[in-house]
Amino acid sequence: MITLNTLFHQLKENPVNWALLAVLAYVVRSYVSSAKAITVSPKHPEVMLFKTYNPKELRAFDGNADNGRILMAVNGSVYDVTRGRNFYGPGGPYGNFAGRDASRGLAKNSFDMDMLTDDDKPIDKLEDLNKDEWDSLREWEQHFANKYLLVGTLVENP
C-alpha cells in the first residue's frame, strides 16, 4: 500500500509524475465543471382569472376538457387543483370532486356520489353538519388554500 510519504517521494524523484498529476487535475476539473445541470424553464400555465363560478360552469373543469383544467369548490371558494391531477383528475381517488362543490364530501370524509349536489340544484348550505364535520371542512379548506391557487368563488346558478 502506498503511503503519502511514498507518493510525495515519487513525485519529487520523477518530474513526469508532476506532469501526470497536472493532467489528472485538469481532467477532473473539466469533468466537474461541465457536469452542471442544464435547467429548462417550465412552460407557464394558462392564466386563470379570479371570477365567480356557478355549479354548471364548474362542471366544465373536471379534467376531461382539452385544456385539462381541474377546479374544485370548497366551502364557497374555487381552487385550481390541476397540478394535483393524480388525486383530483379522472380516475384519481378524489376524482368525483373534480368540477364540483366538494364541501360536504370533505366535511364527512366521504367520496360517495351522494355527497355531491346536482348541478341544477341550489348550492348545499351544509346546515346539518356537526362541529366535527365543520372542523374537518375547515382543515380541508386550509389545505387547499395553502397548496392550490384560489381562482374564484362559487355562486348560485342564474
Eight-state DSSP code of residue 120: T
The string of pLDDT tens digits covering residues 5-35 is 776 677 677 777 767 777 778 887 777 776 5
Q: How many CA atoms lie within 13 A of 23 on its CB side?
A: 6
- Put simply, whether the predicted model's pTM sits higher than 0.85 gets the answer no
Domain shared by 56 and 114, yes or no: yes
* 119's grid cell: 348541478
Within a domain: 41: no
Domain shared by 80 and 20, yes or no: no
Number of domains in the chain: 2
Domain shared by 24 and 83, yes or no: no
Q: Which domain holds residue 124?
A: 51-154
> Residue 36 above 70 pLDDT?
no
Domain shared by 147 and 73, yes or no: yes
The string of pLDDT tens digits covering residues 129-147 is 999 999 999 999 999 999 9
CA dist list (Å): 100 to 79, 88, 111, 155: 11, 11, 12, 12
The string of pLDDT tens digits covering residues 69-116 is 999 999 999 999 999 999 999 999 999 999 999 999 999 999 899 899
pLDDT value, residue 34:
64
Residues in CB range of 140: below 8 A, 6 or more apart: 74, 106, 107
